[in-house]
Each structure stands twice: as structure tokens, then as C-alpha cells.
Structure 1
Amino acid sequence: MESLGVSKNFWSGRSIFLTGHTGFMGGWLAAYLIHCGAHVHGYALAPNTEPAFFDATGLQSRLASSVLADVGELDQLCRVLDQAAPSVVFHLAAQPLVRYAHAHPIETVRSNVMGTANLLEAVRRNPGVKAVAVVTTDKVYRNLERAEPYTEDDELGGRELYSASKAASEFIVDAWQHSYLNEQGKGVATIRAGNIFGGGDWAADRLVPDAIRTFSTGQPLVLRNPASTRPWQHVLDPLRGYLVLAERLVNQPKQFSGKWNFGPDVQDCRPVGDLAHLLAASWSDGARVETQASDSVFEERLLALDSSKAADRLGWIPHWPLETGVEKTVQWYQAYAAGADMWDVTIRQIEAMELGRAGA
């Protein structure tokens, strides 16, 4: 890990506060941190899918603490964070689904905007926190349907509720950073990753879990927008970047605070249909893909990220091409279906990512 920029010495024994640990990405981040020797204190709502990565891996038994609560409750959030006494805070708790946001706009804004404000206020009130990383999304950019990837300096915006709520949360971070956290010497970053996938995601209205569900029943996967291009990446690639960045935020807060993209190589910004067919080929067993006319809510059709800042300043580049990420994802779900020890499967995939190779 040292050669890749992630230091086990830095994380070993360190207290970490992680919101959203019961979710898909939050669960993988908790597992990665535990693998590095950190004491992870989780704060989130109960898992909202059945099954869930949190349950499948037995993650709760490996955490230093796990509190099931709402980031909308400021007083409780402050109290739990103070009890954890963390030096690093990762904020992943959010309402992450585009279609759900369209149907539940107020809940989405409350979670994604006010939840972020509450987390930052709790950090402001805790003198022991050295760094906070707020994970938003690649969809924070005002999408101009252009071919060029978006850099951290491009304009933010959103024409649907999910994107708008996450862009708003970026403004909240910027305000707390410049009004309070900079003068306290805390490192502050917002993180924008690509379209994340990997084993253990069972959310509705996401391509990979939808594919796994349909393939498992022998039904075809039906696509609504097969031509939409997204920056696809396995969840472990950006998480490795999050850890490298957080180390720098603690040690050099002024130099590394700010906005960061962690996206895939440009060649992995591919249409939805490409990923669907890769999933079907990897799943095998007669898996197939069909298309039909779309009746979905509005989503941007073209999106790619420029991650040259992370490459130049952190030495971070993606390790797994799309094909490897798909292979690892299908292996995870098939192992789960076979009754395997999913903590062991998860850790072996983390170790494979650390080595930068496809083998487990």
C-alpha cells in the first residue's frame, strides 16, 4: 500500500467518524478503513435495502461503534461525534437516487443539504477534528452535454432535484470552510466521483443492481437510456483516492483543501448499453439485455470527469479498467449467492485493488 500512496501507518489506530456507513459506498469505505487498522465510528440510518452490504459482510461487528440515527438531528450528531473523538471525518450520508429525489424532493433536500450543514457544524464545534471530506457526486456540474470532461473549476448546477441538492451541498461546504473551518486549521474537501458500482449494492433504479436482480431470475435486463454516457468505475478505485486525500488534508490542510474529482479513465466513460452487455457477458448463464422506449425522469445524457488534479497532486490514477471492475462485481454477487464469507471476499478484493491487479 505504501507504494500506492495509502499509508497503513497513518490509519492504524486512528479514530474515524463516517456518516453513511450502512450504505453501499459507505460500507466499502468502512471496510477499507478497518482493513487499514482504523477505529471506525459509523453514523447513519438503518440499511434501506434487503439484502444490504452492511448486513452481508457483518460489518457492524467490526466497527468501533455504530449509531443508527439521522444527520438531520444536530444535537445528537454533535454528541455522537464528540464521543468518537475522531481526527478525520468522512461524510457520505445522503439520499443518492435520482428518481427517488424526483418523487421526494423535500426529503432529498433535507438529507443532502441540511444533513451536510449539520455535519459541518458538528465538525466546527469539535476541536479534535483535523480534516473532513464530504463526498458529493459527479452530477454537481452544470451539464452542457459537451464531450470534454469536467474539471473542478467548472460551474456547478443541476436541472433535476438530486443534482441540485448535491450542488447546493457543495456551496454549504464552501461557506463553512471559509467562514469557520479554515481559521480552525482544519482540512476540508469535497469529493466528486464517477458512477460507482461494485458488489453489495441492492438499491433500486441503479443499473448494476437492477442487472443482477434480473439476471438472477433469468429475465432480460431492459434499458431505458442505453446511449447515455457515464464515468463508470468500481467503488474501490475512488475510495483509494479518498484515503490518500484525507492523509494530505490532515498533514497539509491549506495545500490540499478544496474540490477533487476521482473519475475513471476517459475510455471508461461509456454508454449505459456497453456496461449492461459487459455485465451480461460476465454473468453468463443466458443473461441478456433489451431496450425499450424511455418514460423516465430527466437525466443528463453525457458526463465525464477530468481527474488530472488528483493524478498530478496525489499520484492517484484508476487501477481497474471497466472490464475488471465488472468482473470483480459479478464475482462478489455470485459469491454472495453461493453463501460465501462476504467479509473475506470483500477484503480480498480490497487487497487486489491495493496491488493494482485483477487477481484476488
Structure 2
Amino acid sequence: MLKGLNLAYGYGNITLFEGINIEVHPGKFTVIIGPNGAGKTTLLKILAGLLKPKYGTVQLNEKEIFLLPAKVRARMLAYVSQEPETLRDYSVWDTVMMGRYPYQGFLGLETNKDFQAVKKAIETVGLAGYEERTLLSLSGGERQRVYLARALAQEADYILLDEPTNHLDLFYQVKILSLLKDLAAQGKGILAVLHDLNLASFFADKLYLFSAGKLITGEAKNVLTFENIYKAYQEPALVVNHPVLNIPQILPLIVNRVSDGKKKVHIIGGGGMAGSIMLRESQQGAKISAGVLNKSDSDWQTAKALGAEVVEEEPFSPISEESYQRLLEVIKKADKIVVAPVPIGPGNLKNIEALLEVEPKKIFIVKPEEMEKRDYSGGRATYIVNSLIKAGAQRYPEA
């Protein structure tokens, strides 16, 4: 196992991170994610033995990595940097052959095993036929694959990669990450720094998210939450569950406001039925609020991502009297109330009953004529909606 124990690093009086513990297990694909400048590359270099920490230790198979001879360490661990420096215009073959250095003797003579390892590595990354091409004649993505091939030729138990999909198109991003996943399945320990959260969610067995100098760790479903992402990146994003793969997918939210946000709009929704309404009203310049919504509901995430005031309830809980009173306070201050086409049952009926306490003319209901189809409250919700329409509530215009 490759382990970093209580690692710290900084520049002068500035601490980049401290108290970092990380493990890379054989047979697992581990990924480090986080915002720019968080210390991902620095941590990777420390784990590779290329940079000494301020304090803390790195162990490779229970041995202190900085005490291992260079060739011994190179047989155990390979490192691929984000932007390898091309000092000379070597051929693809010669560059990949450099990965065999740990196995060569004093004279650097190449064996048949070296040739076979290089040939296999080049074929694996899809560069067969490029052997005589020089590095400077290749695109950035092609060079990136050459450096990955060099690491594969090294035949190390652990491979550390800084942005291995850098410069690659979508096809080769998936191909390279699939290759790394296969290598992990064959028993190698793979650690990669990635910026794409969705690729990380799909491929990683374990994630380490840099957040405020600390690491949040676990499976994607536990790490890639709205709260964790917002804390780490200081930007809102929707986190939705992939309907087939059952993994979190991250969708950034970009809101272009067209007015000053003085108009207050409260939105009643749930289960993702109000997301587009929130975005639409926000883009039109409204200051939005939402609720009552259960925490972690997709509409709750959208509202939080848009910076809305949210009247919230615990997950899977009915609306409490406390939340109901809070809802009344919020909707009475609203200039407009929009009711999304959400199913209504005993657990969220108070959202509809609260509408009886405000002026009907400022209430806008999406498809009120279909309320009966989504009414699971014994008809109470339908009765209230019909009464509000008769009293002056309006149909919310569809986009």
C-alpha cells in the first residue's frame, strides 16, 4: 500500500495543507479532486517521492519512500506529470523505452523483455505505428499518451498521474481512464488527479476531495454532495443521481440576471418539479425563496445552488408545525407565489394549505386543471386549488 501520513506542505508562512492522510490500495482506482490551487499536484508529487513534505511521512509497502534507492522506487511506482517537459525531440519509441531504465544495468543495454514491454505499452495507448514519430511532431494529446505508455512500460505496482486526460478528446479520455480502471482491476494501485467531477464519479473506486486544506474521502455518492462541492469550490452546482448508473452527476448552474432582484418570488415544489421554474424566475431577476422542501431533495439542491432562502424540513419527514409557521412568514412577504406541478399528499399538504393565508391574486399555479391527478390528500388539495382559482389565482404560463 502507498500511504501518506499526517502530511503538511506550505510556502514560507503560508500553509497549503496539513494533517493529510491518504491511502492508495492495490486493485483500486483512487482519484484526487478539488479546486485549482488546493494542493492536488503538490500532494501527488509528495506521494511520488518527488517533493518532501513540511512534515509527515510517505510509506510505500511499509517503507519510507524517501529512503528507497531511485531504481528500487521506480520499479515500484511510476509518475506521469500533467505537463511533462519535452527537453529533446526524442522518438516515441525512445521515450517509452525510458520507462525501462529501472530494469537496465550499468551499460543500459536493452533486453528482449524491454522491447516487448515497450511494444505492448505503445499498443495499449493506441499509438502503434507512431514509434518513429518525434515528440514535437505530435499533438498535445498524443504526447500525453506517450508519457502514459512510458509509465506502463515501467511495470510498476503503483501509477500516479496528474491530469492524465489533459489535452485528450472525449474518446481518449474515456479510453485512458478505462485502461487505468482495467489496470486497477488487475491489481495495480492507481492514483490520479482529475478536474472533471463526472469522470471522477464514474471511474473512481475512492475519492479524495480537497476542501479548505483538508480531504473529504469516500465513495462518490458520499463525497460529491451539494454541500461538499459548494464548500470546496465556492460555486453552486446541481447534484443529480444518474438514473441508470446510480452515481452522482454534477451540473453547474449559470444564472444571467436581467433585473435587480427586488421582486420576491416564492416557489412551492419538490421532487425536481420546480427546478426549471426557479431558474426561470431567477434569470428574470427575481429574488426567490422556496419551500417547504425536504433537505437533499433535488429542488432543495436547486434552490440552495441559486442562493434562495429555503424553508426546509428533514429528509422524508412531513411538514412540521414549526416549518409551516416559517413558510407563512416567507410567503406573506412574497410578491408572487408559484406552485409547481408537484404531487400533494398528507406529508406536504401544508404547502397548499398555507396559500389560503395570502392574497389569491399573487398566486400562480402550474396546470391547475390537473391538480386532481396529482392529489393524494383525499381531495383536500384539489378543493383548495379550485377555490384559489375562483378567488383570483392565475395559471402560471409555461415556458
Give the TM-score normalised by structure 1: 0.30
Higher relative contact order (CA 8 A, sep 6+): 1
Higher-Rg structure is: 2
